[in-house]
Amino acid sequence: MKAPFETVVEENTAWLFALVRKHTDRRETAEDLVQEIWIRAFRVYDSYCEDGRLRHWLSRIALNHIRNTVSRAAPCPVSLDVPADGENDPLSTFLSAGASPEEDYLRSELTAEVLAAVAKLPEAQRQVVTFRYLDGLSVEETAKVMQIPKGTVKSKTHYAIDEIRKQLGLEDAVRPEKKKRKGVSIMECKEMYKYLFMYAMGKLPDEIRAAVAEHLKECKVCDDIAAALEKLIPTMVFAEEGVMSHYGIDFFDLNLSYVGVRTPVPDYEERNRLLEEWNGRIPDDQCWFECGHNDLVTTIGTFDNEGNEIDYPVYKTVEKNCRHKAVSMKKVYPDMWLHDCALSTDSPDVWWGITKEDHVYHGSTFNYFGGHVKSAMYVAIPANAKNIRINRGNGVIDCGAFKFAYVDRYVAEDEQLALDFTYTLD
């Protein structure tokens, strides 16, 4: 039974103050933060369901508030020509359009434009840029302050710089680490992410597969994802034909997910006849395949059984949710797979329940499918993760560049699939 909020405050204020003090040197600041956190917790306490993990719930609220407060208090003065440390080039290098030295100098001096672009970034990216380039912290120091892995800091820095460049009108300029080799078109990461699962399955058209392969030669992050998926996919066991199957694979430090659903289609032959008659287009008044998800997630690609991309745009939005339906496709299969790739705009501790406390990372996620299905969830954790403990789930699969905590079983219509685990890092 859930305790009254007054009791929660009385029993946990000392613990919460100790948690907050780890993130600020000033006692007065910590006291103010604790009061603000209790106000935020009170506003959402009605939505908390007692599961024996109250402090885990409180710590997520506290850490989010601390990060937001730190981000808002970040200083504005910044030199774009001074690198944050020896690990990266100066920010101005990434914002250079390859023009003359005089033009590059003028570009580097437009700090007001850059700061305005930074302010428009998603919260986690804005914090990373603030710590790395405004406060001058190293990757390791930023990871410690934000309580996230170093790899997450690097990936969010990468995406933040790309977004800043777009806002400054530099999206067509060549970044130093993305120079185009003669005769070779190198895909950008965001464009390429959607292909990686199908690439690992060996089911992409030859031209696209070749372009992805070229990108992987240039990008270690994407190459690690593809290599891990190539090892993970052969271990995945789906339901027998005629039974729905589902999987979800989350790379939480990249806010990246691969989700697939296989559905029996008894009238697939008739649908293929209609597709041929309609030149692959599905009339607006018909809904053959549909899905929905939280509005914090953006689907960037959907593929069929053989790696053909399906046009699957958003056609309707409702409160905190959006709906997709297929409007064009190449073929319908008797057991139809829809393989989605999606990016989340929220932080890992909110979307995937990844938190850190006392050097222990804790992951907690669930899926409610709403039907009889063989369902599986896989969450990528760093390859150097130690002391992995699966509290709810099946186990861990070592796939080289990543390890995957996972749960895999048949669920009934009213059942929830849950995965809960902890680990430490060296």
Q: Does domain 91-167 have CATH number 1.20.120.160?
A: no
Query: For 248-278, how does the pLDDT look when each residue is reduced to its tens digit (9 = 90+)?
Result: 999 987 888 999 999 999 999 999 999 999 9
Confidence of residue 350 (pLDDT cuts 50, 70, 90): very low
The full DSSP string for 202-222 is T-S-HHHHHHHHHHHHH-HHH
pLDDT given at position 202: 94
Decide if pLDDT at 357 tops 70.
yes
Q: Has this prediction a pTM greater than 0.85?
A: no
* Average pLDDT of the residues of the chain: 78
Query: For 404-415, how does the pLDDT look when each residue is reduced to its tens digit (9 = 90+)?
Result: 999 999 998 888
Mean pLDDT, rounded, for 170-178 = 47
Provide the residue ranges of all domains of the chain, joining segments of one domain with +: 5-72, 91-167, 180-229, 237-255+346-426, 267-333
Contact 401, 224 (CB under 8 A): yes
Q: What is the DSSP letter of 181?
A: P
- Fold held by 237-255+346-426: Immunoglobulin-like (2.60.40)
Decide if pLDDT at 138 tops 90.
no
3-state secondary structure of 115: helix
Q: Does domain 5-72 have CATH number 1.10.1740.10?
A: yes
Buried b (16+ CB within 10 A) or exposed e, 25-39: eeeeebeebbebbbe
Kindly state the helix (H) or strand (E) to which residue 405 belongs, with its residue range.
strand 402-411
pLDDT given at position 179: 42
Rounded CA gap, 231 and 325, in Å? 31
123: burial class by Cβ within 10 Å (0-12, 13-18, 19+)? Answer: middle
Decide if pLDDT at 67 tops 70.
no
